[in-house]
Structures are given as structure tokens and as C-alpha cells.
Structure 1
Amino acid sequence: MAGVSGCLKYSMFIFNSLFWLCGTVILGVAIWVRTTKSDHEFISHGDSYSSVPANLLIAVGSITMILGFLGCCGAIKESRCLLILFFIGLLLILILQVAAGAVGVILKPQMERELNQTLHEDIKLLSETSESAVKYQTTLAELEERLRCCGLINGASDWGTNFQKYAKYCACTDVMNSSCEIYSGVSVYKEACAPAIKQIFKKYLIIVIGIAFGLAFVEVLGMIFSMVLVRQIGGK
């Protein structure tokens, strides 16, 4: 009987080491996005769907790390059991990714509608003085300065009596610029922040889709490697 190819064995080990490393990176990035006070936190305010991308990446990263470890052990120890478990795990993830993609396509319009509804409902927070409202106002003010926009839906008027307090964040220094307007004696950006916020939300979804497609290619390679190695081990 022919032995196990050393080249294939160590190629499988290196492949799964990289697979495990990819899982570590995905998990780390997902946890950072989920816990950092950023655009994601602002978008997830009152929106049950907006945290889905980060949560999905946390699950994918964790499972990828576990499968990478199984693959490494299976290759080095020449264990058919571990390699078969690795193959089954990859197959299940691949099936789940296809199913999640289909669900994502179905839910995408609903997610966009809910985000739009949430943004319209949150306008009232801009003119309130409660602790949660102030926290929301501070986050939006930081976004205004970075994204060069003012207000949420209707522009500077969304701030109500709080406008003077946060006016400097959406101040437009170039008065002659067509993207600026005068509001309460202050030159501010004419465009509201809702369109930019929606783009940020779409960006998160695109990142998840991109990672899913990249992992699908790697998973197919892993399945091929593992089955070839299993057959060689069985033929020893």
C-alpha cells in the first residue's frame, strides 16, 4: 500500500494553520466592531437587524478557528476521524453560508426599511435632554464632523433647541460652497446624515458578503485536501 504523501500532509497542515489564523483575524475584527463605540453602535441604536453582520462574523470566526485546529491535528496525526470531522464541518458551514445568503437577500429590503424607520423615529432624540438622548446626540455630532453632514433627516432643523450646542460639528467653513446653507446665522452642511449612515450600514453588509465568498473558496479547497488525505491514510 502506498504511504501518505509527506508533501500533501504538511501542505494540509500549513493550509489549516492559515485557516485558523483567518478565523482568529475575523473573530478579532468582529469583536472590535461589536464592542467599539463607532458607526456600528450608532446604527444599531434601536435596530434589531443592524448588529447581525458583526454577530455573524463572530460565529464564523469562532467556527473557523475550531475547524482549523481540527484540520491541523488531523493532518499531523494522520487521523481519519479528525479529517472526516473537518470535512463535515466545512460542508455544514458551506451549506449554512448558502442558506444565510438566501435569507440575507430576502431580508435585505426589510432591514433597509427598519433602518429607515429607526432613523425617522430617532429625530426626536436630537431635541431631548435625557442621558440616552445626549449620548446619541454626541455620537451623531461626531459623525456630522467626519461625514460633513448636518442633522438626521431634514438637516439642521432636526436639532431643535439643541442646535447651538452642536452647531460647530456641522459648521461649513466655505460659505460660498453649494453644499452649505445658512441656518440660525450659522453656515452648515445642507445634506442630512441619513444617506451617509445608510451607506455605512451597506458597507458592513458588503464586508460580510465578501468574507463569506472568500471563505467559501477556501472551504472547498479544504474539503478537497482533507478527502485526498483521508483516502491516502485509508490506503496505507
Structure 2
Amino acid sequence: MANEDKTNTCGTICLKYLLFTFNLLFWLSGGAVMAVGLWTLVDKSDYISLLSSSTYSLAAYILIAAGAIVMLTGVLGCCATIKESRALLIVFFVLLLLIFLLEITAGVLAYVYYQELNEELRADLKETMVQKYQQPGEDHVTRAVDKLQQDLKCCGSNSSADWQQGTWIHTFADGRLVPDSCCKTPTDHCGLRDHPSNIYKVEGGCISKLEEFILQHLQILGAVGIGIAFLQILGMLFTCCLYRSLKDEPY
């Protein structure tokens, strides 16, 4: 009987250390999830403003929420482990399950969004770029387009020729064939010369570049989500094992 008690005690201690280590990793991963979500929204907010769908932003917001809950859950898990409280372990398990469901939701949204991405870009981006660029009350679009063309090294939605079909060419172009942000070395009125040596000529235009950019970010978000999900499964297993190993205590 003494040997059995000793074995159970050793098993419980091992589980406590495993779960405590898990919670530290879990807390750090929550910070990483929040950082990725915030980076996607803040650093790339200009790009996102050119998209008509809010699904991409929604997936990032869900990750930020999940990251915040993960960090709080990690602290709760540490408390539950140290105090050996079965009631806190139950709450911890439920929160882990909730986060897991949030991540699945974000993953489904990201997958659905990517399936619709190409169609949305081709339908909306060209009109947004050539009809709203440098128009009154559309300063945010102008900034987003200039940043998009410079950062992704592209010109026009499908090609630089798209700029000949829009409102901008007849109002604010001032003789330029493309905006100055299309130039490889932007200077005032450098868009007067539409030549590959001067401006970016990319097959597929900014649509293909933006689609590639968003796909890369969705892959990063997906990889982070999968990593956290794997940690959560381990955490739920450790929690269940520790819960069963603890002696019954009043709640």
C-alpha cells in the first residue's frame, strides 16, 4: 500500500511538472499568436483596406482574441497546477477547449477566404485602384495603392495599362502614364515614362502579387494555429491525467 501511494505521489509530481512546463510554453505561445495577429492588422492595414471582404481581418481578430485568452489561461493553469485544485483544472480544460474551437474557426475562415480570394481581387481591386486613386475623399485608397505598388514592386491591377482606363488619368495624372509609385526609383513625375527600365512590369500585376502576399500570411497564421493546437492537445491530456491522479477534494 505504501509503495502504491509512493508511486501515485511520484506520478502526480511528474504530471504537475509537465503541466507547469506546458503552461509556461502555452503562455509564451499566446503572446506569439497575439503578435502575429496584431502585425497582420497594423503593419498590413493599408493592403487590407483595398479588400472588399472583411474575412481576412476577422481571422486575424479571432487570433488576437485567442492569444489573449491563451495568456490568461496559461496563468490559470499554473495556479491550478500549483494548488492541485480539481475545480481550477476543470475551468482550465474548458478554456483550452474554447481556444481550440476559436482556432478551428479562424482556420476555416482563412481557408474559405483563400478560395474566394482570386475572384474578389479580380472583381474589385482594378475598380478600386483606377477609379478611386487620388480622388476627393479617397486619401486612404491613394496611400494604400502607393504603398502596395512600392512594397510589392508592381504597377496596376493586372498591368500598368490599367491606369489608362481610370478616372485618375483624366484628372490628376498631369501627363503621367502611371502613378509615380509605379517607378523603380520614385521621383516627382517619374511616371511620365512607361518603360520596363523605369517602372515595374510584373506578369499578373498587383493582383498576383497581393494574392501571393495574402497566401503567405495565411500560411503563417495557419502554421501558428497548428502549433498552438498541438500544444493544447498535450495540455488537455496532461490536465485529464492530473485531474484523475489527484485525490477528491471539496470544491
User: TM range, normalised to the smaller chain?
Assistant: 0.7 to 0.9
Alpha-carbon displacement from aligned partner over 1:171-219 (angstroms, at most 9, x marks no partner)? 247xxxxxxxx52898322222121111122122212211121111101
TM-score (norm. length: structure 1): 0.80
**Greater RCO, CA 8 A, separation 6+:** 1
Partner of 2:200: 189
Amino acid at match of 2:235: G
Cα pair 1:3 1:235 within 8 Å, conserved? no
**Alignment partner of 2:243 out of 227, 230, 235:** 230
How many residue pairs get matched? 224
Aligned residue number for residue 93 of structure 1: 99
Give the drift of 1:150: 1.2
For residues 101 and 14 of structure 2, the distance between their equivalents in structure 1, rounded to whole angstroms, comes to: 30
Shift of 1:51: 0.9
SS in 2 for 1:130: coil
The equivalent position to 1:6 in structure 2, one of 13, 18, 26, is 13
Q: What are structure 2's unaligned runs of at least 5 residues?
A: 186-192
Distance 1:84 1:39 in 2: 39
Identity of aligned residues (%): 33
**Structure 1 unpaired stretches of 5+:** 174-181
Is the 1:10–1:76 Cα contact (8 Å) retained in structure 2? Answer: no
Q: How far did 1:226 drift? A: 0.9
The two structures have a TM-score, normalised by structure 2, of 0.75
Q: What's the CA shift for 1:20? A: 1.2
Does structure 1 retain, via aligned residues, the 8 Å contact 2:37–2:64? yes
Alignment of 1:146-161 (within 5 A): 146-158=151-163, 160-161=169-170
Query: SS in structure 2 opposite 1:129?
Result: coil
Give deviations 1:74-119, integer Å, cap 9, x for gaps: 1011111111221222234334544554455445423442343221
User: Quick one: which amino acid aligns to residue 62 of structure 2?
Assistant: L
Q: Which residue of 2 aligns with 1:120?
A: 126
User: Aligned-pair RMSD on alpha carbons?
Assistant: 2.9
> Counterpart in 1 of 2:181?
169
Name 1:143's counterpart in structure 2: 148
Larger Rg: 2
Which sits farther off after the overlay, 71-80 or 203-212? Answer: 203-212
When residues 230 and 135 of structure 1 are mapped into structure 2, their CA distance, relative to the original with a 3 A threshold, is same
